[in-house]
Chains A and B, each alone.
Chain A
Amino acid sequence: MRSTILVAAAFALGVAAARAETPADFEAAFAAEARRADPAFAGFSAARGQQFFGSTHGGDWSCVSCHTKDPSAVGEHVVTGKRIEPLAPAANPKRFSDPASVEKWFKRNCNDVLKRLCTAQEKGDVLAWLMMPGAGGGR
């Protein structure tokens, strides 16, 4: 029963996303999407991702407002104060394992911070930063 639902959900998300079960799979899917959007796509940059993550984009909040500057640290929801587990896959293996969850939270959080969806380039840059060796350790 449960696996039927899972299979159905994965199917609904499309072939590319359905196979994305590790952070590397997500990175590959974002890259394919970024290349479709811009043939001159030249790869992801962790530095650009970190910059994007720490900046405001016209509103009051940045990604850091809830997730902190450190991808391996526990965050706190800026309005409610609720605990948020770390985003770096090295610190929290649940991250970037579920396509539906990743899609849902990028949509919500990008809307909250940028008042629009994030591009594949932006998502890939952020992920590259979250996956950087050392992202599981302090700064």
Chain B
Amino acid sequence: MKTCIRILIVSSAVAVASLTAGPSAAKSRHAPLLPAYVEECGSCHIAFPGRMLDAASWIAVLEGLEQHFGVDASVDAKTLEPIRAYLAGTARSKPTTAGGVPLLRITETRWFRHEHDEVPQRLWQEPDAVKPADCAACHRSAATGSYSEHDLRLPKKGEAK
């Protein structure tokens, strides 16, 4: 019975997610983010798109929210359920693990390092360095889930936070 209800909740959440995203957007690389996800996971930082981590990594992140990178980001189970379904449904298919263990940080994944190996070192190192997790410092439309080169602008000297 309990599993029954759970499946129901998950499938309706997925249905809502695909409805919101629309049939074509669901396939696109820049599918709009689920509003409930942005509401919950976009208050302390931008909401990171599902495709940035694999499903195992997302589950691991969601299971550790009470101690989430130095802050308490805990949320009740009812709020979390649709978010879990949404992230699992949009997750990266290639693994984001290190030594078989799911990585919690996007910025520690192989793909992230590879995509960012040409970012000038000065940006990461100066006293006013950009934090790698502050995607929006360079990807100006990151809050909407878009990371296209079109919206990329590296901060100038002294401009970064």
Contacts and interface: CB of A to CB of B under 8 A. Distances in A.
A112 B44 contact: no
A104 B75 contact: yes
A69 interface: no
Interface residues of A, number: 11
Contacts of B70: 79
Most buried by A among B43, B75, B161: B43
Interface string B106-150: 000000000000000000000000010110000000000000000
B45 to A, nearest CB: 4
A111 B71 CA distance: 8
Given A77-B45, A80-B134, A82-B46, A108 B73 contact: yes
Given A81-B134, A81-B161, A111 B72 contact: yes
Interface in A79-99: 79-82
Nearest to A66: B44
Contacts of B71: 79, 108, 112
A36 interface: no
A121 B156 CA distance: 47
Contacts of A82: 43-46
Nearest to B42: A82
A46 to B, nearest CB: 26
Most buried by A among B45, B72, B75: B72
B94 to A, nearest CB: 26
A94 to B, nearest CB: 12
A112 B45 contact: no
Nearest to B160: A81
B44 A80 contact: yes
A80 B75 contact: no
A117 B71 CA distance: 14
Nearest to B40: A104
Interface of B: 43-46, 69-75, 131, 133-134, 161
Given A80-B44, A104-B75, A107-B74, 17 more contacts: A77-B45, A79-B69, A79-B70, A79-B71, A80-B131, A80-B133, A80-B134, A81-B131, A82-B43, A82-B44, A108-B71, A108-B72, A108-B73, A108-B74, A109-B72, A111-B72, A112-B72
29 contacts: A77-B44, A77-B45, A79-B44, A79-B69, A79-B70, A79-B71, A80-B44, A80-B45, A80-B131, A80-B133, A80-B134, A81-B131, A81-B134, A81-B161, A82-B43, A82-B44, A82-B45, A82-B46, A104-B75, A107-B72, A107-B74, A108-B71, A108-B72, A108-B73, A108-B74, A109-B72, A111-B72, A112-B71, A112-B72
Which 5 A-B pairs give the minimum distances between C-beta atoms?
Answer: A111-B72, A108-B72, A80-B45, A81-B161, A112-B71
